[in-house]
């Protein structure tokens, strides 16, 4: 398994960032490739994704640790992916969003296509970094 960690600081209080992170229906607005997303029973998410030039469906199990401002997720269908989003208060008006993604490079290549090895890792890093930038734009504009 490979692990990717990225973070970004957003200019909103932790409660607002936490609320926005849980609005699964807004994922198409900041997660590249997600065409549609919906929450099912608050602990599952269904994502329609355009990956590697083809439409795919993913299901994910979500575990909240609200008191810690930590959301963990694991795919239950599609490629084996898991991750954690942790929110840390910087001060009253600023929050650090930390993303940690665990993936098997071979599985990701099969599901999404693209190069192997370092080129793929670089592409995934760029994708996650871009998604975090889009999340920042979304939460700061809705303020």
pLDDT in tens, 21-37: 989 999 999 998 899 99
pTM of structure: 0.85
Which has the higher per-residue pLDDT, 50 or 118? 50
In whole angstroms, give the CA distance from residue 132 to residue 117. Answer: 23
Mean pLDDT, the chain, integer = 86
Confidence bin at 104 (pLDDT 50/70/90): confident
Q: Is 42 exposed, middle or buried (0-12, 13-18, 19+ CB in 10 A)?
A: exposed
Condensed to tens digits (0 to 9), the pLDDT of residues 39-75 reads 988 789 999 988 767 788 889 999 988 789 999 999 9
Q: Are 90 and 96 in contact (CB under 8 A)?
A: yes
Side-chain-side CA neighbours of 36 within 13 Å: the count stands at: 6
């Amino acid at each position: 398994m490979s692990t990717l960690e990225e973070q970004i600081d957003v200019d909103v209080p932790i409660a607002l960032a936490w609320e926005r992170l849980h609005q699964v229906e807004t994922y198409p607005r900041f997660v590249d490739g997600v065409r549609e997303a919906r929450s099912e029973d608050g602990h599952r998410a269904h994502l329609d994704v355009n990956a590697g030039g083809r439409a795919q469906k993913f299901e994910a199990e979500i575990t909240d640790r609200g008191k810690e401002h930590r959301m963990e997720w694991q795919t239950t269908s599609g490629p084996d992916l898991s991750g954690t989003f942790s929110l840390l208060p910087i001060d009253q008006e600023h929050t650090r969003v930390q993303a940690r993604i665990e993936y098997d490079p071979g599985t990701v290549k099969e599901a999404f296509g693209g190069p192997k090895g370092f080129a793929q890792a670089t592409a995934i890093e760029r994708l996650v970094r871009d998604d975090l930038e889009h999340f920042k734009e979304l939460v700061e504009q809705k303020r």
